[in-house]
């Protein structure tokens, strides 16, 4: 696809459309709660409405889009209860993963996590880059836990977190607090202290929920 051509290639077209829609949702080009204008998007993408509707079905299964009878598709909006439930599930799943990584990860894997943590330290004043590296750190840690079911569930839950208008890291001072929590977590991982790593990860999400709910 060229830089000047906004049309999409025919191969796996609905998957390409789904990916573009995800990007627009995560970038807030399509705001949570907003109606998705299928006709306009199909025109913008240079496609028919059929692959667009197939893509919307994919995003509906992921929870990013809500289909309403006779009203069309809407970007899913997270309620306070939704946010609480997602954070609590992430706390359980990721603390379990942190314990396993502390006890089983290879030295090379711990070194990789430490390198990602150092990137976070360097990006403390760059919110967008910090968000990306923070998610990369969490997902690499989960991958090292070698439980694909846990990893798959967390991936889906983290997509939902991106819909939250009041993301915890938006709150003044929360980014610095999060970084301090990461420092403590890295120390527990390097000490091979699974119980402490699990406790710190759980507290990390509890503090994130408090910030998101403030």
Structurally, what CATH architecture does the domain formed by 13-75 represent?
A: Orthogonal Bundle (1.10)
Grade residue 168 by pLDDT with cuts at 50, 70 and 90.
low
CA torsion sign for 58, 61, 65, 68 is positive
Q: Taking the model in full, what pTM does it have?
A: 0.79
Backbone phi and psi for residue 65, each to the nearest 5 degrees, phi listed first: -125, 140
Angle, CA 139 vertex, CA 155 and CA 188 arms, to 5°: 135
Query: Could you give the C-alpha distances from 130 to 100, 121, 133, 135, in angstroms and in order?
Result: 25, 9, 5, 9
Across residues 71-98, what is the average pLDDT? Answer: 93
pLDDT at 4: 45
User: Residue 73: enclosing H or E segment and its boundaries?
Assistant: strand 72-75
| Percentage, residues of the chain above pLDDT 70 | 91
Q: How far is the C-alpha of 54 from the C-alpha of 13, rounded, in Å?
A: 9
Of the candidate CATH numbers 1.20.120.530, 3.55.40.10, 3.30.420.60, 3.40.50.620, the domain formed by 80-213 belongs to 1.20.120.530
Residue 130 confidence (pLDDT)? 87
Residue 163, pLDDT score: 84
Judged against a pLDDT cut of 50, whether residue 124 lies above it is answered with yes
- pLDDT at residue 78 above 60? yes
Query: Closest by alpha carbon to 123, among 185, 169, 187, 184?
Result: 169
Q: Within the chain, where are the H helices?
A: 13-26, 38-45, 49-62, 80-104, 107-122, 127-144, 148-161, 174-190, 194-213
* Alpha-carbon distance values, 109 to 99, 112, 120, 140 (Å): 14, 5, 17, 9
Mean pLDDT over all residues of the chain?
89
The dihedrals phi and psi of 66, each to the nearest 5 degrees, come to: -115, 125
Residue ranges of domains in the chain: 13-75, 80-213
What pairs with residue 163 in β-bridges? none
């Amino acid at each position: 696809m060229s830089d000047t051509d906004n049309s999409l290639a025919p191969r796996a077209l609905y998957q390409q459309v789904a990916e573009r829609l995800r990007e627009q949702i995560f970038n807030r080009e399509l705001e949570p709660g907003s109606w998705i204008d299928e006709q306009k998007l199909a025109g913008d993408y240079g496609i028919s409405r059929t692959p667009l509707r197939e893509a919307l079905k994919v995003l509906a299964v992921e929870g990013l889009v809500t289909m309403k009878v006779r009203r069309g598709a809407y970007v899913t909006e997270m309620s306070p209860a939704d946010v609480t439930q997602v954070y609590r599930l992430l706390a359980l799943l990721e603390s379990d993963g942190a314990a396993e990584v502390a006890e089983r990860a290879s030295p090379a894997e711990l070194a990789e996590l430490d390198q990602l943590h150092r990137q976070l330290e360097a990006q403390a004043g760059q919110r967008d880059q910090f968000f990306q590296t923070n998610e990369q750190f969490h997902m690499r840690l989960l991958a090292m836990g070698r439980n694909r079911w846990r990893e798959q569930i967390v991936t889906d839950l983290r997509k939902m977190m991106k819909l939250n208008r009041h993301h915890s890291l938006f709150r003044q001072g929360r980014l610095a607090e999060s970084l301090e929590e990461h420092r403590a977590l890295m120390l527990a991982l390097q000490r091979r202290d699974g119980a402490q790593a699990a406790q710190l990860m759980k507290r990390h999400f509890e503090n994130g929920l408090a910030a998101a709910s403030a």
